[in-house]
């Protein structure tokens, strides 16, 4: 009996796993947190720091999770190269490549956030600012570059621009609740891109 080999795009595999890893690690990190908290007064980075109320175990779990997610973001974005197939405009192809580069830089920034927690400020703040800035470029450009692609779900572009608006408001205001919205809605975009890339890969 011959079994059909099922191959999934690297973007789909890493996209699913990085979402799961993020939620698993942050869940267990929160269990160790010593203070009362809410998304209105606590930033996600606070869970990776002893000085802001977490235990050594909780902070370590959070930072390891962030590093793993950052590492997985790099192949996730690289895997989006397959969308170059079907992009006829040279400008759009270059724009997509630029988007993937910003995506990889956001992954590197996230890794550095895990390595340099809040205690290491201003180093932590520099990498945090870099992550949200690179993320802003990705959220805007991914929708523009793929909007006219025949197999790309157009509503994903609109969703990405909505997330970009939330991300921009967070950059301006630094309100913790907006950081939570930015991260969770961005993870939603990761899931949508993973799904759309899988559907696109099945087309012969």
Contacts 24+ apart (CB under 8 A), 36-41: 39/176, 39/177, 39/180, 40/176, 40/177, 41/176
Give residue 54's region: left, alpha or beta (phi > 0; psi -120 to 50): beta
Distance between CA atoms of 143 and 132, rounded to whole angstroms? 17
Is 189 within the bounds of a domain? Answer: yes
Distance between CA atoms of 77 and 79, rounded to whole angstroms? 5
Distance between CA atoms of 49 and 150, rounded to whole angstroms? 45
Please tell me the predicted confidence (pLDDT) of residue 2: 45
Quick one: DSSP state of residue 1? -
Is 4 within the bounds of a domain? Answer: no
Structural domain count of the chain: 1
What single string gives the DSSP state of each residue in 84-121? GTT---HHHHHHHHHHHHHHHHHHHHHHHHHHS-GGGT
Is 2 within the bounds of a domain? Answer: no
Please tell me the predicted confidence (pLDDT) of residue 203: 58
Is 21 within the bounds of a domain? Answer: yes
Is 110 within the bounds of a domain? Answer: yes
Is 129 within the bounds of a domain? Answer: yes
Q: Are 27 and 74 in contact (CB under 8 A)?
A: no
Tell me the residue range of the domain where 153 lies.
10-199
88 by Cβ neighbours in 10 Å (0-12 / 13-18 / 19+) ranks as: exposed
Is 17 within the bounds of a domain? Answer: yes
Please tell me the predicted confidence (pLDDT) of residue 1: 42
Please tell me the predicted confidence (pLDDT) of residue 202: 74
Is 204 within the bounds of a domain? Answer: no
Give per-residue burial for 43-59: e unless 16+ CB within 10 Å, then b. Answer: bbbbbbbeebbbeeebb
Q: At what angle do helices 123-146 and 90-115 cross, to 10 degrees?
A: 160
pLDDT tens for the 204 residues of the chain, in order: 444 445 789 999 999 999 999 999 999 999 998 888 999 999 999 999 888 888 999 999 999 999 999 999 999 999 999 999 888 888 999 999 999 999 999 999 999 999 999 889 899 999 999 999 999 999 999 999 998 898 999 999 999 999 999 999 999 999 999 999 999 999 999 999 999 999 888 755
What is the CB neighbour count within 10 angstroms for residue 7?
Answer: 10
Secondary structure (3-state) at 39: coil
């Amino acid at each position: 009996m011959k079994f059909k080999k099922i191959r999934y795009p690297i973007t789909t595999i890493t996209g699913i796993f990085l979402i799961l890893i993020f939620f698993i690690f942050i869940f267990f990190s929160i269990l160790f947190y010593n203070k009362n908290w809410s998304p209105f007064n606590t930033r996600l980075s606070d869970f990776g720091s002893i000085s802001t109320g977490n235990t050594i175990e909780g902070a370590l779990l959070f930072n390891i999770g962030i590093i793993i997610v950052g590492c997985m973001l790099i192949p996730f974005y690289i895997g989006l190269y397959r969308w170059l197939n079907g992009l006829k405009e040279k400008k759009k192809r270059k724009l997509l490549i630029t988007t993937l580069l910003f995506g990889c830089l956001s992954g590197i920034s996230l890794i550095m956030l895990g390595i340099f927690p809040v205690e290491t400020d201003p180093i932590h703040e520099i990498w945090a600012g870099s992550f949200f800035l690179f993320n802003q470029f990705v959220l805007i450009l991914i929708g523009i570059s793929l909007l006219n692609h025949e197999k790309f779900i157009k509503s994903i572009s609109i969703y990405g621009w909505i997330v970009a608006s939330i991300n921009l408001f967070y950059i301006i205001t630094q309100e913790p609740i907006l950081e939570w919205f930015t991260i969770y809605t961005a993870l939603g975009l990761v899931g949508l891109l993973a799904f759309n890339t899988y559907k696109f890969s099945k087309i012969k």
